[in-house]
Each structure stands twice: as C-alpha cells, then as structure tokens.
A = this chain, B = another copy of it.
Amino acid sequence: MNIKDIAKKCNLSVATISRVINNDPKVADSTRKKVLSVIDKYKFVPNITGRSLRTQKSNKILVLLPTMSNQFYSEIIQGIEETAEEKGYAILVAVTNLQEHQEIKYLHMLRMKHVDGCISLFNTIDAESISSLAKTYPFVQCCEPTMGADVSSVEINNRQAVYDVVNQFIQKGHKTIGMISGDYYKTSELGRETGYKEALRDNGLVFEKSLLVKNFYRYEDGAIGAKKIMAHNPKPTAIVCASDSLALGATSYLKSEGYTVGKDICVMGFDNTAITTYTSPTISSIGQPRYDLGKESFKLLYEKLENINSTNKKIILPYEIIHRESTGCSK
C-alpha cells in the first residue's frame, strides 16, 4: 500500500495525495476528507525512505553514547528527546562501547543522510576529523568536547568543580588528599585532574603521583583506587572521585578496612546520581545539570540544522557541590 495505490482508490493523482499528507492548504476540503478517509481505511503510512530520498532529510537525529551502563546519561537523553520532539525530531541512540570502529560506523549515518544531525556524548576520533565533520554536518558534543576541535559543545567547568572541592577540603584542614579518576574520557578527566592539582598548588601543597590513580569507572575500580591511595604515607584524609560509582567502590573498600567514611576520611563523588542518597554513608557529589545539558545540546544542534554555517558555540553550564554524610569530617 503506497501513495500510488491510495491515488488510484481515490481517483486522484499522487500529487494530491502527497499534498494532503503534507497539509498543503491548497486542496479542496471535500477532496482532503475523501483522501483522509481512504488513508485511514487502508492504514496507509507514507514511506519515509522515499520521502527522505526526495527531501534529503530524515527528521531524525543520532545520539552517540560511549556506554549504556551509566545512569548519568538517562536524564541527558531525556533533555535532548523532549527538546527535539518540540521541533519534530525523533532521536535514535547508538552505543559505541568505546570502540572506534563502532563510532565510525554510526557517524556514517550522518554522511549517508540517514539522520540529519548528531549529538555525541563521547568521541575517540581526533580533533581534526571532528572539526571537519562538524563543518559539513550538524554535530554537537555534549559533556566531552574533543580538545582542539572546532565544534559546538555543552559542558560544565570540570576543572573548577574539582578545584572548589579540593579547596574546601584544604580549608577544613585536610593536608593529604587523593583522587580516583578514570582513563578514557580525556577531556573531563584532564579538567578534573587539573583542578585537583591546581587547588593543591594554590594552597602550597605538592602534587604526588601516587595519590592520583586512574582506571575505569566500575565500582571495583573505586575499591582498587582507594586501596592504592591508602597505602600512601601519610594516610590521606580525603578522596575526590571522578564518578559516584568510584566513590561508592572506594567507600565500600574503606568500610571493609575499618574506616568510618565521613569521619576518618572524606569521599566526594561526581554526577550526583540517584544512588548517592541510598547508601550509607550517603555520598557527597558534584552535580551536573543533566537535563539542561541535553536540552542545550539540542538547541545548539538545531542552530546547525537550520544553518550549517552558523558559528560554533561553547556553552558552559553551572555545577553544584552537594555535601552529604561522606564528607562530614574536617581534619
């Protein structure tokens, strides 16, 4: 059942059917009624591939995710989705699992015009490729802009967030502070680690390599990281983590070793995911405005969708530091 069939049933041309489908005002009311009833009767749905081929647009955008196993992304996607829907765009999510060939495969959907634009939550390909991609296709990076790439992006000031936290710790009297970070989200990690180092430096403390451990973002990496950091002499009294999962893993390890987290040692998480209030101790965290991160990303993408030559923008959104039980202690 295609447009031609409907045209036959109606004794009209395909052009008229097309006009009805697309709400063209210059079609007689009686004609429109007849066509709609036939469309309804046969449950006709216009073939979007034919339409895409003709109009050269799909009204779909791609959201590229590094992994699905991160609570953090869900609200960002909701922000994108709800903003996109207002403008008539559906969103499609693809997961790269951090594999470059997957990333390339899905980015081809842009070049192949199967989607009109892409919001990427993470990229492995180099800055130059990103820049050239963004020049030709509507493309926006969210949370993890590739360093040195000329592209629109939305993120928080990761450096400043950790700087503030470490600074607070030092004000409260902490002298030995560790950090557990990850090892693949290059941009945010560098920012967070830089904030850590700069806060130490600005307070006259020296950065020690053995107090900064980097690995993945699984709970167990938090535990492993905490173990390494606690082997340091003197023992740290505070640990900043690059995610809540790391903070939770660290807390779990510290408790098993007899420390009272929030009293003997402070632990700070990142992203303020729902879990933080349901553990004991509850986990302090740095919150990102997830919904708005998604929303602003789509708005930037929409500017590119309307005019690919519009200038690239870099948007920085505010973060918040939320103190819970895990940072109850001063030293």
Q: Which residue of B lies closest to A97 (CB)?
A: B78
Q: Which residue of chain B has its CB nearest to the CB of A45?
A: B111
CB-CB under 8 A from A90, the residues of chain B are: 94, 105-106
Question: With contacts A48-B112, A50-B53, A277-B219 known, is A71 near B69, CB below 8 A?
Answer: yes
> How many interface residues does chain A have, given as a range?
35 or more
Contact of B52 with A49 in the complex, beta carbons under 8 Å:
yes
1/0 per residue A85-129: CB within 8 Å of B? Answer: 000001111110100000001101101111000000000000000
Enumerate chain B residues within 8 angstroms of A68, measured Cβ to Cβ.
68, 73-74, 77-78, 93
- The answer, yes or no, to whether A37 is at the interface (CB within 8 Å) is no
Verify B278–A219 contact, CB threshold 8 A: yes
- Residues from chain B with a CB closer than 8 A to the CB of A105 are 90
- Given A91-B94, A92-B94, A93-B93: A248 touches B48 (CB 8 Å cut-off): no
Q: Most chain-B CB neighbours within 10 Å: which of A48, A91, A113, A280?
A: A48
Q: By the criterion CB–CB under 8 Å, are B69 and A74 in contact? A: yes
Complex CA–CA separation, A90 to B107 (angstroms)? 12
Q: Cβ of A274: which chain B residues have Cβ within 8 Å of it?
A: 69, 218-219
Measured between beta carbons, the chain B residues less than 8 angstroms from A106 are 90
**A55-75 interface bits toward B, Cβ cutoff 8 Å, 1 = contact, 0 = none:** 000100000000111010111
Instruction: Decide: B279 and A45 in contact? CB cutoff 8 A.
Output: no
Give A255 to B112 CA distance when docked, in angstroms: 55
Q: Are B81 and A95 in contact (CB under 8 A)?
A: yes
Q: Which of A256-281 contact B (CB under 8 A)?
A: 274-275, 277-280
In the complex, chain A residues 263-315 whose Cβ is within 8 Å of any chain B Cβ: 274-275, 277-280
Is A182 on the interface with B (CB-CB < 8 A)? no
A138 part of interface (Cβ distance < 8 Å): no
